[in-house]
Amino acid sequence: MPKISVITVNYNNREGLRATLQSTLAQTYSDYEYIVIDGGSTDGSKTLLEDQATRVDHWVSEPDGGIYPAMNKGIAIASGEYLLFMNSGDTFYDAEVLEQVAPALERHRDFYTGGVCLDGKIRKAPTSVGPLFFFNQSLPHQSTFIRAELLKARPYREDVPIVADWEQQLYELLVRDGTYECLETVICNYDTTGISSVCLAEGKLDNYVLPMLRDHFSERMIAAHRFNVHDVRFKLRTLLEHVDSLRERIRLLRYSLKLFFTAIHK
């Protein structure tokens, strides 16, 4: 079965790192490697890593340029066929997660996403991902297995402090038309204090999202992003309810998407 690289990025989050280390090292699956990239923490994280040095396959503690340069550093080191980013504070849902997921990885999709446990509630992965999905969310990196060769060929952008993982998913799944599979397995306990989660709550994502959309798509999609996506869904759903023919529904849906989503392949 495929080798999996689990990558943890940490900076001055010793207790979060401790929880992630314990959770990852408890995995029962045998063919995985564990990589920890610490950004030169001053809170004792390095000492914690030194104590676990014989159990962590690769680790480094040195200053870096932020979360995405650190993630890219882990990507460069990784030797697995699939990568999973379980950053400090995130934990596996149970000890058998990797063992449960590994057989599915033999189908060689580009992306696999499983469920997350958020505030004690299970949230399942989307069964499919398309333009409307990416308007207001992304696949959680804590529960998403990505084919390593994609990230080695095109690492995360380092010119933005957040949402580079969203941009990578958008490019690979929509622009490049990559493959995706929903997993029934619950992968992780989600840490809601992550930087992208905080910026999403504060409504700051458009500062970075719109320029990225402009890089990949036409002005029509950018304009559509500025609309309330729930209004768009509601109006389209209402219109479809008045069309009886399945063929006409499909035609109308395709036409509607074409109006605001014109992909420009790089």
pLDDT tens-digit series, residues 61-113: 999 999 999 999 999 999 999 999 999 999 999 999 999 999 999 999 999 99
Residue 202 has pLDDT above 70, yes or no: no
Percent of the chain with pLDDT over 90: 61
What is the reported pTM?
0.78
CA quadruple 57, 63, 65, 67: dihedral positive or negative? positive
Q: Beta partners for 182?
A: 113
**pLDDT-derived band of residue 158, with 50, 70 and 90 as boundaries?**
very high
Average pLDDT, the chain: 82
The answer for residues whose C-beta is within 8 angstroms of residue 166's C-beta and 6 or more apart is 134, 138, 196, 209, 212
Q: How far apart are CA 68 and CA 246, in angstroms?
A: 44
Q: Mean of the pLDDT values across residues 18-38?
A: 98
89 sits in the region (left: phi over 0; alpha: psi -120 to 50; else beta) called left
What is the token pair recorded at 154? 């095109």
Give the HSE-up count for residue 243: Cα atoms under 13 Å, Cβ half-sphere. Answer: 14
What distance in Å separates the CA atoms of residue 120 and residue 77, rounded to the nearest whole number? 34
Domains, the chain, with CATH or none = 4-216 (3.90.550.10), 219-260 (no CATH)
CA 237 to chain centre: 28
Between these two residues, 138 and 215, which has the higher pLDDT value? 138
- Give me the pLDDT at residue 163, please: 81
Q: Is the pLDDT of residue 203 over 50?
A: no
147 forms bridges with which residues in the sheet? Answer: 82
37 and 71 Cβ atoms separated by less than 8 Å: yes
CA distance 221 to 219: 5
CB contact set of 127 (below 8 Å; sequence gap of 6+): 182
Averaged pLDDT, 180-205: 69
